[in-house]
């Protein structure tokens, strides 16, 4: 008799335990992403999950029972199918958030990068830009406002959604250092370039053309000019200096612009990348083609390909053909 009573008590206790801590309450067939901002409370959670809860009141009671108060820990939380009220409450109470994957590629400016990232993390674009331009933060990482684009290696990153600007930047620094392993450092040194200079040259090469097969050729050409102490005369740097990448025709009035990025008047590389170069173009520079080219000119068929020349006379013939093609199309700027 006593044994039956004990079994009954244990059964009741087990049932109560199951109902309180293990019984599924979130009944949707798909996971739900909860984005909790600073200041958000349990009322937001209840409102978001209301339609997917078998027993909304149970979750509210569990919040009180487990001491989940307002405000909650900010973060990116994932409520999965079959989760109990206790599991949801415990997750929020202890800040057990799910990391997010952020991605960026084909980015020209830091403003554009901040705009892309603000849709993937809790920080807004202004907070990100403030971090990008913080002298103390940049100095601690070994960059300045001009060289900073070299830090960002386009890739997929796993971060906390509510990461601070400093923590987010540390993620990028870690990825930068991982990318610049000894093999790549040795390749850069062989070219007499630093990692930042590789990024600067890569950014110019990438702006010259979207023809991937030409990237190593163009990289080799510009390395030849650098070794001969010739002006790079790279049209993309003029567009960057003028803040107008839509220019299709670079004129003398453009090449006279007063800027450290004007490679028609300044020797060597500009002080920083003119875009965030892709990994593919970084590799193209590190594995630049050894050639004798010193000049390049867009083909007059507007295919995006280029003619490459070793002599100025040959280059001028190609340039004349291209200028005539521009005139026929009435392209004057």
pLDDT digits (tens, 9 = 90+) for 162-197: 999 999 999 999 999 999 999 999 999 999 999 999
**What's the pLDDT tens digit per position in 85-124?**
999 999 999 999 999 999 999 999 999 999 999 999 999 9
Selection from 326, 282, 277 nearest residue 302 by Cα: 326
Q: Which structure tokens are listed for 144?
A: 């300045």
Instruction: Say what percent of the chain tops pLDDT 70.
Output: 93
Q: Give residue 3's pLDDT.
A: 56
Q: Give residue 252's pLDDT.
A: 87
Selection from 298, 293, 325, 324 nearest residue 309 by Cα: 293
Angle at which helices 195-208 and 235-242 cross, to 10°: 90
- pLDDT interval class at 26 (50, 70, 90): confident
Q: Give residue 19's pLDDT.
A: 53
Q: Give residue 193's pLDDT.
A: 97
308 three-class SS: strand
**What's the pLDDT tens digit per position in 279-308?**
999 999 999 999 999 999 888 888 888 999
> Is the pLDDT confidence value at 4 over 80?
no
Look at 146-155, 202-211, 308-317 and tell me which has the smallest mean pLDDT: 308-317
Q: CA 228 → CA 223, 231, 292, 294, distances in Å?
A: 9, 9, 12, 10
- pLDDT interval class at 13 (50, 70, 90): very low
Please check whether residue 60 is in contact with residue 42, taking contact to mean a CB–CB distance below 8 angstroms.
Answer: yes
**What's the pLDDT tens digit per position in 136-159?**
999 999 999 999 999 999 999 999
Q: Give residue 300's pLDDT.
A: 83
Q: Give residue 331's pLDDT.
A: 72
Q: Give residue 1's pLDDT.
A: 57
Q: Give residue 9's pLDDT.
A: 40
Q: Give residue 246's pLDDT.
A: 86
- Supply the pTM of this predicted model: 0.88
**What's the pLDDT tens digit per position in 63-77?**
999 989 889 999 999
Cβ partners under 8 Å of residue 170, min gap 6: none
> Is the pLDDT confidence value at 5 over 90?
no
Cβ partners under 8 Å of residue 130, min gap 6: 165
Terminal-residue alpha carbon distance, the chain:
99
Selection from 35, 23, 41, 43 nearest residue 85 by Cα: 23
* Phi, psi for residue 103 in degrees, rounded to 5: -135, 145
> Count of CB atoms within 10 A of residue 280's CB?
13
- pLDDT interval class at 8 (50, 70, 90): very low
> Is the pLDDT confidence value at 14 over 70?
no
Look at 13-17, 171-175, 210-214, 304-308 and tell me which has the smallest mean pLDDT: 13-17
CA distance 78 to 231: 55
CA distance 93 to 84: 14
Q: Give residue 139's pLDDT.
A: 92
> Is the pLDDT confidence value at 7 over 70?
no
β-bridge partners, 103: 156
């Amino acid at each position: 008799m006593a044994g039956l009573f004990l079994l009954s008590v244990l059964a009741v206790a087990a049932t109560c335990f199951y109902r309180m801590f293990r019984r599924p309450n979130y009944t949707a067939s798909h996971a739900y992403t909860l984005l909790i901002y600073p200041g958000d409370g349990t009322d937001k959670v209840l409102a978001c999950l209301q339609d997917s809860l078998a027993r909304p009141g149970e979750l509210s009671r569990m919040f009180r029972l487990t001491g989940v108060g307002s405000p909650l820990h900010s973060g990116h939380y994932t409520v999965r199918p079959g989760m109990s009220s206790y599991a949801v409450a415990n997750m929020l109470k202890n800040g057990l958030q799910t990391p997010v994957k952020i991605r960026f590629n084909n980015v020209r400016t830091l403003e554009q990068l901040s705009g892309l990232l603000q849709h993937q993390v809790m920080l807004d674009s202004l907070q990100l830009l403030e971090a990008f331009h913080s002298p103390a933060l940049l100095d601690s990482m070994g960059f300045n406002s001009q060289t900073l684009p070299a830090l960002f290696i386009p890739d997929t990153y796993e971060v906390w959604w509510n990461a601070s600007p400093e923590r987010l930047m540390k993620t990028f620094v870690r990825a930068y250092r991982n990318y610049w392993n000894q093999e790549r450092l040795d390749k850069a040194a062989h070219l007499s370039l630093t990692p930042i200079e590789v990024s600067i040259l890569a950014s110019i090469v990438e702006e010259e053309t979207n023809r991937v097969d030409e990237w190593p050729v163009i990289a080799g050409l510009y390395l030849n000019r650098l070794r001969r102490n010739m002006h790079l005369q790279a049209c993309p740097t003029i567009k960057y200096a003028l803040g107008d990448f839509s220019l299709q025709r670079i004129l003398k009035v453009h090449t006279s612009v007063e800027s450290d990025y004007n490679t028609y008047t300044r020797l060597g590389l500009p002080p920083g990348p003119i875009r965030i170069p892709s990994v593919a173009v970084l590799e193209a520079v590190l594995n630049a083609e050894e050639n004798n080219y010193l000049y390049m000119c867009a083909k007059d068929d507007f295919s995006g390909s280029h003619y490459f020349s070793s002599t100025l006379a040959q280059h001028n013939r190609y340039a004349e053909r291209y200028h005539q093609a521009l005139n026929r199309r009435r392209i004057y700027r």
